[in-house]
Amino acid sequence: MNKKVLIVDDEPHIRMLIEQTLEDLEDEGVELLMAENGEQALQIIEKERPNLVFLDVMMPKMNGMEVCQKVKKELHLTEVYIILLTAKGQEVDRQKGLDMGADKYMTKPFDPDEMLAIAEEIINS
């Protein structure tokens, strides 16, 4: 089975940063997918069923919280591991994200080594 990671952020340079951070995974046969807004992310998640999604919270069209809620609570895709990425480190956001079904929460700016380690752990579990 081909492993897939979806990177969702409305800022192209952040998508590129995350892609560069995770490019080692491509050597292991992991496919990296991209989306630039929540609607696009949802379509890709439904079609591709990625193992892992790095999902920005603040986005146009549909924010990360809404995408997360749809994936986990409406589509019941519990096998899709969602990590919310946010610039806000407030505890209330973290709790809201977890309530929406997020599996993990990372604050920007993120540590690339930590991000890669977490991705490898999830992909290989």
Domain ranges of the chain: 4-123
Mean pLDDT throughout 41-61?
96
DSSP code, position 30: P
Query: In this structure, which CATH number among 3.90.1150.10, 3.40.50.2300, 1.10.10.10, 3.20.20.140 belongs to the domain 4-123?
Result: 3.40.50.2300
Mean pLDDT of the chain: 93
Contact yes or no for 8/64 (Cβ under 8 A): yes
pTM, entire model:
0.94
Mean pLDDT throughout 56-85?
95
Residue 20, C-beta contacts closer than 8 angstroms, at least 6 positions apart: none
Alpha-carbon torsion, ordered 77, 78, 82, 84, to 10 deg: 100
How do residues 84-98 score in pLDDT, each as one tens digit?
998 866 778 788 888
pLDDT score for 87 = 81
Q: At what angle do helices 12-27 and 112-123 cross, to 10 degrees?
A: 50
Alpha helices by DSSP H, listed for 28-63, are 38-48
Coil vs helix vs strand at 106:
strand
How do residues 6-39 score in pLDDT, each as one tens digit?
999 999 999 999 999 999 999 999 999 999 999 9
